[in-house]
């Protein structure tokens, strides 16, 4: 590949001969980044892959032993871990579905001209820019059974959102919907504004109803970008740690990332945590793959 | 397309705008609650019914920044008169500000806030710096397996923090980087670098190649063309990327929770740890949260035209 011309510039020209060669510059610009990412992301993962086959515990000094696939076998047959995955799946479905509905709904409402539209759109985007851990913590006060404004406004008395095992997970999901619906809204708005206006005009001339126009014109044209939002939010919701961790300690809201954190840094079951981390990692990479595929598709249009 | 507008369309439009206003109020309510609680007297933060309008109070911020003790007996009137106004407010609340000589003893909050600032600023400079060079490389030169390399770079961003944190914790412990600014900065650079490469590549792709080619014909070397032509053209993109990286590092929680506990601890793991046991003092927590969220709110407004690009790694640009 070294002999390939790197740009449109003629490699034999005088301009290309001055200073460092394009090849040198290219390598100088790209290699440090790749090395950095390999050293601080890939190497640690290889390191932890090794530990995932041992019974290593980081808080003890006695030597660890190679245990083969035992960690993986134990994890895959552990009911507790399975329940964490089921909790995570419920959380992903509820919170992503909520975000898609609220976010797309908001975008449909915003997709018209009115005074101060820019300001209102930016205000609506504020929640997603804020720290999930810190804001999530504050939702404890909003949800408080004794003096929380939410229970007061909705007349829910002393309903304990976050310490009730049945509702804790959904309370976290509601906060997540509040934080991330704006993300779906932002992407949907971009999709909606890209729908050619003449299609709507043609539909109006044909006296097409609102529903018909929506399902035959709007949805098909916006769906690629909605899909991007859906995949991205699914991946993020699957990885959720901070918001749930600062909001509640209910075991019924113990997402897989929280389980992993506890196993690694509270029980110090390091070898097994590395194995669990790998199981999670493979799932995330599968979704990432899908995400990049669709991202590139939208990009090409 | 203003041609035909039936009265039902006009009505529908009005309803939609009203709905938008209601939704905006609902979405801003939790943020208003944080901001307002930061200025409430202690008892109004947990009042029933919840207090919406009140006379603002500065004591939450005084309590946020100082160490205090409950007073055993009433304060000496002479001491009270000599105290500055903000200290009087603390006396009024039955507390005394701790001092060494004349110096007020500060709480841990200013330290944690500074740690957040140090870590976020330095990691942003490094991530955006490296990202800009790399993005230029990807934008202008032919690279074997370019799509795969870019996917590899993006995939590092998607790694769940807790997954990366387990081996990094062990490695940092071995070399003594636990609870250090450098350790956290390295993690944040690694986390933001991929984002910065993708976003900057989008901005670089928009700068016409002809600009540099003209400069090369005029006798510039490629490095001179990069620094004198490309970088100034990319200034807006660099600024937007930097703000995004800053916000990500500023908000990050999981790495900070795992890797730091005292010296280098940043604000996000510190603020929840203030809850402690017993009845939490929500006004002080709100004051800390308010100051912590303020820069992000300001940056969101500055970034408003780049938000879409930012959250899609530069793939969708409007």
A183 near A263, Cβ under 8 Å?
Answer: no
B47–A147 C-beta distance less than 8 A? yes
Contacts of B297 in chain A (CB under 8 A): 126, 129-130
Q: What is the pLDDT of residue A300?
A: 59
Q: What is the pLDDT of residues A190-248, one digit of tens each?
A: 999 989 989 988 998 888 888 899 999 999 999 999 999 999 999 999 999 999 999 99
Is residue A89 located within the same domain as residue A230? yes
| pLDDT (mean) for A6-28 | 69
For residue A70, tell me if it sits in a domain: no
Q: Note down the domain range covering A148.
A: 79-300
Q: What is the pLDDT of residue B316?
A: 83
Is residue A30 located within the same domain as residue A92? no
Between positions 57 and 116 of A, the ones with CB within 8 A of B are 58, 106, 108-110, 112, 114
Is residue A173 located within the same domain as residue A268? yes
Both tokens of residue A116? 């101060």
B13–A228 C-beta distance less than 8 A? no
Q: Kindly report, as residue ranges, where domains of CATH 1.10.3720.10 are found in chain B.
A: 109-273
Q: What is the pLDDT of residue A47?
A: 92
Is the pLDDT assigned to residue B43 strictly greater than 90? no
Q: Report which of B246, B225, B169 is spatially closest to residue A51, judged by C-alpha positions.
A: B169
The helix/strand/coil state of B230 is helix
B47 near B282, Cβ under 8 Å?
Answer: no
For residue A23, tell me if it sits in a domain: yes
Compute the nearest-CA separation of B202 from chain A (Å).
11
Is the pLDDT assigned to residue B134 strictly greater than 90? yes
For residue A199, tell me if it sits in a domain: yes
B144–A41 C-beta distance less than 8 A? no
Compute the nearest-CA separation of A40 from chain B (Å).
7
Is residue A174 located within the same domain as residue A242? yes
Any CB–CB contact under 8 A between A241 and chain B? yes
b/e sequence B230-259, b meaning 16+ C-beta within 10 Å: beeebeebbebbbbbbbbbbbbbbbbbbbb
Instruction: Work out the pLDDT band at B277, boundaries 50, 70, 90.
Output: low
A273–B166 C-beta distance less than 8 A? yes
For residue A71, tell me if it sits in a domain: no
Is residue A207 located within the same domain as residue A167? yes
Q: What is the pLDDT of residue B75?
A: 84
Q: Dump the DSSP string for A47-66.
A: HHHHHTTB---TT--SPP-B
Q: What is the pLDDT of residues B66-102, one digit of tens each?
A: 998 888 888 888 889 888 888 888 888 888 889 888 8
Interface size A-B, in CB pairs within 8 Å, comes to 304
ipTM of the complex: 0.91
Q: Report which of B256, B248, B273 is spatially closest to residue B168, judged by C-alpha positions.
A: B256
Is the pLDDT assigned to residue A120 strictly greater than 60? yes
Question: In terms of CA atoms, which chain A residue is nearest residue B224?
Answer: A19
Is residue A21 located within the same domain as residue A168? no
Among A57, A121, A126, which would you mutate to test the B interface (most chain B Cβ atoms within 10 Å of its Cβ)?
A: A126
B193–A37 C-beta distance less than 8 A? yes
Q: What is the pLDDT of residues A71-107, one digit of tens each?
A: 999 999 999 999 999 999 999 999 999 999 999 999 9
Bond preceding residue B49 cis, omega within 30 of 0: yes
Lowest mean pLDDT among A7-11, A24-28, B58-62: A7-11
Q: What is the pLDDT of residue B115?
A: 97
Q: What is the pLDDT of residue B279?
A: 78
For residue A65, tell me if it sits in a domain: no
Contacts of B48 in chain A (CB under 8 A): 146-147, 152
Is residue A131 located within the same domain as residue A248? yes
Is residue A175 located within the same domain as residue A281? yes
Is residue A131 located within the same domain as residue A172? yes
For residue A206, tell me if it sits in a domain: yes
Contacts of B162 in chain A (CB under 8 A): 241, 257, 260-261, 264, 277
Is the pLDDT assigned to residue A4 strictly greater than 70? no
A29–B48 C-beta distance less than 8 A? no
B153–A122 C-beta distance less than 8 A? no
Compute the nearest-CA separation of A166 from chain B (Å).
23
A20–B140 C-beta distance less than 8 A? no
Any CB–CB contact under 8 A between A211 and chain B? no
Q: What is the pLDDT of residue A3?
A: 36
Among B6, B141, B207, B249, which would you mutate to test the A interface (most chain A Cβ atoms within 10 Å of its Cβ)?
A: B141
Into how many domains does chain A fold?
2
Is the pLDDT assigned to residue A2 strictly greater than 50? no
CA distances from B91 to A289, B61, B81, B83, B88 (A): 60, 15, 11, 9, 5
Compute the nearest-CA separation of A240 from chain B (Å).
9
Contacts of A5 in chain B (CB under 8 A): 142
- Token pair 């995330």 is at which residue? A284
Q: What is the pLDDT of residue A12?
A: 55
Q: What is the pLDDT of residue A17?
A: 62
Is residue A156 located within the same domain as residue A18? no
Is residue A135 located within the same domain as residue A238? yes
Degrees to nearest 5, angle at CA B119 with B114 and B123: 150
Is residue A19 located within the same domain as residue A127? no
CATH number of the domain at B109-273, please?
1.10.3720.10
Is the pLDDT assigned to residue B119 strictly greater than 80? yes
B23–A124 C-beta distance less than 8 A? yes
Is the pLDDT assigned to residue A45 strictly greater than 80? yes
B95 near B68, Cβ under 8 Å?
Answer: yes
Averaged confidence pLDDT in chain B: 92
| pLDDT (mean) for B275-286 | 84
B101 vs A179: which has the higher pLDDT: A179
- Token pair 């993005």 is at which residue? B135
Q: Between A19, A122, A289, which is nearest B221 by CB?
A: A19
Any CB–CB contact under 8 A between A147 and chain B? yes
Is the pLDDT assigned to residue A19 strictly greater than 90? no
Q: What is the pLDDT of residue B231?
A: 96
Q: How far is C-alpha B314 from the chain's CA centre?
A: 20
Residue B49 DSSP symbol: S
Q: What is the pLDDT of residue B165?
A: 94
| pLDDT (mean) for A255-283 | 95
Q: Which phi and psi (to 5°) does residue B104 adopt? A: -70, 135
């Amino acid at each position: 590949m070294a002999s390939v011309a790197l740009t449109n510039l003629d490699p034999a020209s005088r301009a290309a001969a001055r200073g460092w060669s394009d090849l040198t510059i290219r390598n100088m610009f790209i290699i440090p980044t790749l090395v950095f990412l390999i050293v601080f992301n890939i190497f640690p993962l290889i390191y932890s892959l090794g530990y995932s086959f041992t019974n290593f515990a980081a808080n003890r000094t006695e030597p660890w032993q190679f245990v083969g696939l035992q960690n993986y076998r134990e994890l895959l047959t552990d009911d507790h871990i399975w329940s964490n995955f089921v909790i995570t799946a419920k959380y992903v479905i509820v919170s992503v579905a909520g975000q898609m509905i609220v976010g797309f709904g908001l975008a449909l409402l915003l997709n018209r001209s009115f005074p101060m539209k820019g300001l209102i759109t930016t205000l609506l985007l504020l929640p997603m820019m804020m720290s999930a851990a810190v804001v999530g913590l504050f939702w404890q006060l909003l949800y408080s059974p004794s003096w929380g404004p939410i229970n007061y406004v909705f007349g829910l008395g002393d309903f304990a959102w976050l310490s009730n095992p049945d509702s804790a997970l959904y309370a976290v999901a509601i906060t997540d919907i509040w934080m991330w619906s704006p993300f779906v809204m932002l992407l949907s708005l971009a999709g909606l504004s890209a729908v050619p206006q003449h299609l709507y005009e043609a539909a109006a001339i044909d006296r097409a109803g609102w529903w018909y126009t929506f399902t035959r014109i709007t949805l098909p044209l916006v769906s690629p970008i909605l899909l991007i939002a859906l995949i991205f939010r699914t991946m993020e919701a699957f990885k959720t740690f901070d918001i749930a961790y600062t909001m509640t300690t209910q075991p019924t809201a113990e997402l897989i990332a929280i389980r992993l954190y506890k196993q690694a840094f509270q029980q110090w079951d390091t070898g097994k945590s590395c194995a669990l981390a790998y199981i999670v990692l493979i799932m995330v990479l599968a979704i990432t793959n899908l995400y990049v595929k669709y991202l590139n598709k939208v990009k090409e249009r | 397309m203003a041609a035909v507008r039936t009265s039902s369309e006009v009505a529908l439009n009005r309803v939609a705008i009203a709905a938008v206003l209601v939704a905006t109020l609902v979405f801003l309510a939790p943020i208003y609650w944080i901001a307002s609680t930061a200025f409430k007297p202690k008892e109004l933060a947990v009042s029933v019914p919840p207090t919406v309008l009140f006379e603002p109070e500065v004591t939450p911020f005084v309590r946020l920044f100082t160490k205090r003790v409950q007073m055993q007996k009433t304060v000496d009137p002479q001491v009270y008169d000599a105290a500055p106004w903000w200290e009087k407010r603390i006396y009024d609340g039955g507390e005394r500000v701790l001092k060494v000589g004349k110096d007020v003893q500060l709480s841990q909050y200013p330290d944690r806030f500074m740690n957040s600032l140090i870590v976020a600023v330095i990691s942003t400079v490094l991530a955006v710096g490296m990202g800009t060079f790399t993005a230029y490389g990807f934008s202008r030169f032919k690279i074997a397996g370019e799509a795969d390399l870019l996917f590899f770079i993006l995939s590092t961003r998607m790694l769940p923090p807790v997954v990366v944190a387990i081996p990094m914790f062990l490695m940092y412990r071995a070399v003594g980087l636990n609870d250090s600014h450098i350790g956290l900065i390295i993690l944040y650079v690694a986390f933001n670098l991929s984002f910065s490469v993708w976003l900057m590549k989008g901005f670089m792709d928009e700068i016409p190649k002809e600009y540099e080619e003209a400069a090369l014909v005029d006798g510039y070397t490629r490095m001179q063309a990069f620094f004198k032509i490309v970088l100034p053209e990319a200034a807006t993109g660099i600024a937007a990327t930097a703000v995004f990286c800053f916000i990500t590092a500023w908000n990050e929680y999981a790495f900070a929770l795992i890797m730091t506990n005292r010296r280098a601890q940043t604000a996000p793991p510190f603020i929840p740890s203030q809850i402690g046991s017993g009845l939490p003092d929500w006004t002080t927590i709100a004051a800390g949260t308010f100051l912590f969220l303020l820069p992000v709110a300001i940056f969101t407004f500055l970034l408003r035209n780049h938000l879409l690009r930012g959250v899609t790694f530069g793939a969708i640009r409007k």
